Amino acid sequence: MNEMHYQLDLLKAMNQKLTERERMYHVVCDSAVGASLYYSFERNQITTLGQWRDYFTFELHESKDFSLLLDAVDESDSPALRDVLFLEKTGQSTATAECRLKGTKTWLDFRVNVYYGEDGRPVDKVINISNITKFRIQNEELTYLAYYDGLTGLFNRNYFVRLLSEYVRNASEKNCVVSVMMIDLDDFHKINDGQGMVLGDELVQQFGCCLKEICEANDVIGCHLHTDVYLVAIYDPSGNRTMEKLHKEIQRRTHRPFKLSTGQELPVTFSAGVAEYPEAAHSAIELINCAEIMVFKSKAMGKNNIQYFNTLVLEEFLRTAELESKLKEAVFNHSFQMYYQPQYFTESRKLRGMEALIRWRDGNDSMISPSIFIPIAEKNGAIIPIGKWVVEQSVMQYARWRKCYGYPFVMSVNISALQYSSDDFVDSVMDVLRKYEVNPSEIELEITETILIEDFQTVYEKLKLLRNYGIRISLDDFGTGFSSLSYLKRLPIDTLKIDKSFIDTVLTDSATRVITDAIINMVKALGFESIAEGVEDKRQYEYLRTAGCDVIQGYLFGKPLSEDEVETLLASVR
Ligand code: C2E
Ligand code: MG
Ligand code: MG
């Protein structure tokens, strides 16, 4: 009897434990974030749990109802779902499928687990379903960003380079051509700086979208490289798919001004450079670099045009780039030297002055001409420290010679346009004069006409200021630039230097003679002093003397001299 009671109590206790467990499982399943489905193979029965109703409007009861799930997802995802829903057919235990619910933007993840009995037959199947819409959208955005440029919808740099590398690889196997064009909007910085980055971006976007349409219509690839720079590539160009045609099409489509959201209309032109595999380079990056060099050339030739790859241009670019980097080192190491070329009064043949001319001896002890490196220094800004050094060096040297030989003359120093544009130019020159106690009237600054053409008013004010301090101003290389005699009278100058190109042909060309005579007479009438540059020949000298030119500078009377040679000269003058 006791034994029976005991068995009964045990059964009760076990039953109670079971209902507690069942309850626990229900609560856990119902509060889970997703939905679950349990299928018993033995009973051919489906039980749905959790948030089933959040995703589906139907219930599933037995195996054939799985087809309702297949109908509920997007057609393209249904084969993948079928594979996992009937996973037992493969003998696998676990698999997943990501499917979009038909007609919605909701993405569901189906994670299936099949449990097998000892005999290997499937017993239970559990399918956990979760909403992964947020994750999918983020993923799609990331995927988009991996290939496309957010601003223009064109390919981004990385993806474009990948595609271009494939083009080049294929072209090398099939012996064909790949053409790359770089496009750079003209004067974009003026728009960006002047009108603000927001409008700048809008322009980049509009141009990019237009380019995208053209690329898609012509079956070529395009990319937004950075700021206002784009790239286009054509695999195996022929017929209508050539860069020339594409360039024309882009010009045609971007011909009209771009209308910005402010209502403002902006006309835009662009410069383009083209390089082709295998002529220009053998890799995607090198091709892009070559196209960029051609863009530089295109800009240097006046913008709004297209330049095709050319070995000579590439060589010139590489030479300049090498010089540029050497020049930076030279500025750092002070590898410059000043030479001085004497100038003589034509009549008396007495020393009038010296022109300070910079010399650069590079590492191999070869001389690089200032006509080559000064323009580079002007472009990359190195002219500012170089120019400061030249002024200080020449004034200091003059002060020493003046003291040593007691012989006053004029020290002429060449000044570049960029030096004038720095705010402290006048002050810095005056500081140097004070430092070395040099009389301003013994220093002459040489300017070229191009300076005046670029920014007349600013330069004009500075020249007036310098002249008020007593510094002499000389107009160098007259006749090579604008050369308008009419604006001469407005200039605050003391001296005009007639360019060597006139002197070279003054004896052989009657037209040059007429102009040279006119210049000398005009200079005299305006009360300036005239200097003839590059006088090499005695007959040239005789002619200039008769014509009334005041001063002669040239190899005939003296080449540019080193400091030691100048000292010998000054000692002999004394
Ligand atoms: P520039 O100012 O017109 O200087 C005259 C140039 O003609 C000098 O060349 C001089 O050596 C050369 N020259 C003078 N007489 C004769 C001659 O009879 N025959 C020939 N064939 N040449 C003659 P350099 O020294 O090579 O200078 C070239 C240019 O570089 C200068 O032309 C000037 O524009 C620029 N430059 C030179 N030194 C400086 C400098 O310190 N600063 C700046 N900003 N520019 C400089
Ligand atoms: Mg000069
Ligand atoms: Mg000159």
Query: Exposed e or buried b for every residue in 170-187, given b needs 16+ CB within 10 A?
Result: ebeeeeebbbbbbbbbbe
| Residues 515-538 pLDDT 10s | 999 999 999 999 999 999 999 999
CA 434 to chain centre: 43
Of all ligands present, the nearest one to the C-alpha of 497 is 3
In this predicted structure, the answer to whether residue 94 has a pLDDT above a threshold of 90 is: yes
Query: What residue owns the CA closest to ligand 1's atom 32?
Result: 371
Looking at this protein, which amino acid is placed at residue 288? Answer: I
pLDDT tier at 483, thresholds 50, 70, 90: low
Whether residue 393 has its Cβ less than 6 Å from ligand 1: no
- pLDDT at position 1 is 59
Ligand 1, pocket-test mutation among 339, 341, 357, most atoms within 8 A of CB: 357
- pLDDT at position 283 is 95
In angstroms, the CA 281 to CA 75 distance is 47
% the chain with pLDDT above 90: 74
In this predicted structure, the answer to whether residue 190 has a pLDDT above a threshold of 90 is: no
CA of 476 to the centre of ligand 2 (A): 5
Contact 70, 79 (CB under 8 A): no
Whether residue 369 has its Cβ less than 6 Å from ligand 1: yes
In angstroms, the CA 140 to CA 145 distance is 9
Average pLDDT over residues 484-505: 87
For the chain, what percentages of helix, strand and coil (3-state, to nearest 5) are there? 50, 25, 25
* Ligand 1 atom at shortest distance from the alpha carbon of 370: 30
Average pLDDT, the chain: 92
Token pair, residue 118, equals 């000892």
Average pLDDT over residues 543-561: 97
Burial degree of 11 (CB within 10 A; 0-12, 13-18, 19+): exposed
CA of 357 to the centre of ligand 2 (A): 8
Average pLDDT over residues 88-111: 95
Of all ligands present, the nearest one to the C-alpha of 554 is 1
| Residues 136-186 pLDDT 10s | 999 888 888 889 998 999 999 999 999 999 999 999 999 999 999 999 999
Domain boundaries, the chain: 32-136, 148-309, 320-573
- pLDDT at position 484 is 66
Average pLDDT over residues 320-336: 89
Whether residue 374 has its Cβ less than 6 Å from ligand 1: yes
* Ligand 1 atom at shortest distance from the alpha carbon of 387: 42
Ligand 1, pocket-test mutation among 337, 414, 420, most atoms within 8 A of CB: 414
492: nearest Cα among 514, 473, 512, 469: 473
- Topology, domain 32-136: Beta-Lactamase (3.30.450)
- pLDDT at position 485 is 67
Contacts with 60 (C-beta within 8 Å, 6 or more apart), sequence order: 37, 46, 48, 66, 68, 69
- pLDDT at position 574 is 63
- pLDDT at position 254 is 92
pLDDT tier at 18, thresholds 50, 70, 90: low
Residues with a beta carbon under 5 angstroms from ion ligand 2: 414, 446, 476
Whether residue 414 has its Cβ less than 6 Å from ligand 1: yes
- pLDDT at position 568 is 96
**Residue showing tokens 């050339």:** 297
Token pair, residue 279, equals 């002529």
pLDDT tier at 340, thresholds 50, 70, 90: very high
Domain 320-573: CATH architecture, name and number where available: Alpha-Beta Barrel (3.20)
In this predicted structure, the answer to whether residue 107 has a pLDDT above a threshold of 70 is: yes
Domain 148-309 class?
alpha beta
pLDDT tier at 20, thresholds 50, 70, 90: confident
Average pLDDT over residues 114-135: 95
Query: What residue owns the CA closest to ligand 1's atom 19?
Result: 534
Burial degree of 223 (CB within 10 A; 0-12, 13-18, 19+): buried
